[in-house]
Structure 1
Amino acid sequence: MIARRTLLAGLGAGLVSAPFVARAETPTTIRMGSLKLIHSIAPYFYERFTPAGTRVEVVPFESPTECKNAVVTKSVDFGTFGIAAATLGAAAGEPLVVIASTCNGGMAIISKKGSDLHAIKDLRGKRVAIWPGSTQEVFVLERLRMEGMSVRDVEPVRISFSEMHIALARGDIDAYVGAEPGPGVSLSTGVGQLVEYPYGTEMGALNMVFGVHRDTIAEKPDLVRTMLEIHRKGTEFAARDRDAMIAMAVSKLGQKREALEVSAPNVELKWKLGAEEVRQANAYAGHMLALKQIKRLPEAGFIDTKFVDAMRGA
């Protein structure tokens, strides 16, 4: 039997001789909302550019509205979504601020291969898939207006972006106003033909933006600056290396390389947000108001360029 004094002495010696183990600091985790589209592929490159002590968790969403709502409810810290979802939220008084760009382009009007639908005017009386409330809807309605037409001159069909190619292949519709990679799939498989890329309006090719909750800007400006620096580097890398962008979309999104090869040239990844983008966004909001998709314009400050301005200056 070991004496109590001997046991205590042994324990004391063990405590003295035990090496000190430093406790590692828990890294800062940033939750980044991202759509399951090649437009929103940049976040998957963020891990290459995160500083020590920081990690970015990419949270995928099916729709722009879901991702925007996650930012508004603070389920994620930042998010990428279409200017349509952002404008709808801001016009409704949600505490959402757009602080950078994500992607321009990524839209296309596609008709059935071999049909006589080659221009906007050819869509008169045809079944055209248009997703209500989307960025693409505002663009196609403006293009119809520019051609002396309106939505009443076509037969609009409510179909989600992911189903548009299939509906065209089945013959359920004559054309669709889609988001990549849907158009790329239709073109690469020979199912569809290009009517046009609808960028000939005052809205240009404006599409996806980078948003954050208003509270985050006020309470965590350093986090915002850190995240935008990561976003800038990830975006520039993916935009510079198209092969890497396509490979990442195949890996993370499960999309077909053949379709992405066609889609990629129609997707302009970007982070800069300046006077031109603000002008286009204001024009976009004006069209939404005229179409009664929103009841009022977003308040001043909905688009805040100061963080991007500071990065551009540095």
Structure 2
Amino acid sequence: MTLTRRSMLATTLAAGAAGLAAPAVHAQGVTVKMGALRLIHSIAPFLYDRFQPDGVRIEVIAFESPTEAKNAVVTRSVDFAAFGVAAGILGAAAREPVTLVGSCCDRGMAVVARKDGNIQKLADLKGRKVGIWPGSTQEVFILERLRMEGMTIRDIQPIRVSFSEMAIALARGDVEAYVGAEPGPGVSVSSGIGKIVEYPYSTPMGSLNMVFGCHAETVAQRPDLVRTMLRVHRRASEFGMANRDVTIETAVAKLGMKREALEVSLPNVELNWQMTPEMLTRAKTYAEHMLSLKQIRALPDFNTFFEPKFSDELAKSAA
């Protein structure tokens, strides 16, 4: 079942005082609220209904931005969520009780420019209006790529644009390029309006993008639920990668995405679940970049921000 953030507002306000310390228990079992983004690389939760175990009902709540999804975990409006690693780091650095228990996806981003323009490479963004979503994973990547090219954010004209509006803003001419999340780049390319300038994966952060997290108290008080949800997440992620046609059908049906755009976007999406040593190293590097850019005042406490034991256990099993 998929709910929107707006449809959850009344419930969230009513439950706020109680803190929603645990998933709701009904006669038929446990209801777990799972936050996800309206992006193709956040599609795994929308496949969970194929794998939810007996006695567990998973409700998927769609959010517009990574920060909203992370905040929903912190306030316990949802029990688990998929959100960008940057949003997680921002929360953990502020000592919010958010813990990563899995990965969600790599790749899924691109620097896009108008096809009829003369932006061919990153250096050509100098002086141009570039759509960027503040506080996003994409923002950190583009800042580092600019640095690698001998530029800074002051060399471009950053325009605040949400992911869902980037392709529209490019088509209208409000921006000359954007640093987007799929399926935005796929929409721009498939419509003939845009072209890929680059996939910004050449930094030490690699292609790390979205993560799977929950409230710190959920880890401490309900470890079996964490294991259950991570197992569902693994199955859905592996299924989504192995069954691309079903993944596209799901995105079309549940998120209203265009099939032709998804055909372009999906090769740029790598659904995953495991907190590998490489993923942890890249996340730490990511946090160090955010600190150097003064996006955070201190590094997170990685001992509480990361909890890879569930992923490690699951990796040793047959799922």
Q: Residue 267 of structure 1 corresponds to which residue in structure 2?
A: 269
SS at match of 1:69: helix
| Residue 306 (structure 1) aligned with residue 309 (structure 2) | yes
- Please point out which of 31, 38, 63 is paired with 1:29: 31
Match of 2:87 in 1: 85
Please state how far the C-alpha of 1:211 moved relative to its aligned partner: 0.4
Residue 124 of structure 2 corresponds to which residue in structure 1? 122
The alignment-based identity, stated in percent, is 60
CA distance in 2, matches of 1:49, 1:35: 19
CA apart distance, 1:173: 1.5
Report the Cα offset of residue 225 of structure 1: 0.6
State TM-score, norm by structure 1. Answer: 0.91
Which moved further from structure 2: 50-59 or 92-101? 50-59
SS at match of 1:173: coil
Distance 2:75 2:37 in 1: 17
Q: What are the equivalent positions in structure 2 for 1:51-90 lying under 5 Å apart?
A: 51-90=53-92
Amino acid at match of 1:278: L
Higher Cα Rg: structure 1 or 2? 1
Correspondences of 1:141-290 after superposition (within 5 Å): 141-290=143-292
TM-score by length of 2: 0.89
2:104 maps to: 102
What SS does structure 2 have at the residue aligned with 1:193? strand
Residue 51 of structure 1 aligns to which amino acid in structure 2? P
Residue 47 (structure 1) shift: 1.6
CA distance in 1 between counterparts of 2:67 and 2:36 reads 11
CA–CA distance in structure 1, aligned partners of residues 86 and 248 of structure 2: 26
Q: Which has the higher mean CA deviation after the structures are superposed, 192-201 or 149-158?
A: 149-158
Q: Secondary structure at 1:295's aligned position in 2?
A: coil
Moved over 2 A (4+): none
Moved more, 112-121 or 188-197: 112-121
What's the C-alpha RMSD, in Å, of the aligned pairs? 1.1
Gaps of 5+ in 2: 1-25
User: Which digits, 9 at most, give the CA deviation of each residue in 1:225-256, with x for residues without a partner?
Assistant: 11111111111101110111110000000011
Instruction: For residue 311 of structure 1, report the CA deviation from its aligned partner.
Output: 0.7
Residue 19 (structure 1) aligns with = none
Structure 1: runs of 5 or more not aligned: 1-23
1:114 positional shift: 2.3
Separation in structure 2 between the aligned mates of residue 151 and residue 308 of structure 1, nearest angstrom: 37
C-alpha contact (below 8 Å) 2:67/2:135 kept by paired residues: no
Distance in 2, matches of 1:50 and 1:155, equals: 46
Q: What is the distance in 2 between the residues matched to 1:38 and 1:136?
A: 15
Q: CA deviation at 1:300?
A: 2.5
**Which secondary structure does the structure 2 equivalent of 1:208 belong to?**
strand
**Conservation of the 8 A alpha-carbon contact between 2:85 and 2:283:** yes
Comparing 190-199 with 52-61, which one deviates more in the overlay? 52-61
Post-superposition CA distance 1:172-200 (Å, at most 9, x none): 21111111111100000010111000000
- Give the 3-state SS of the residue equivalent to 2:99 in structure 1: strand
Letter in 2 for 1:66: E
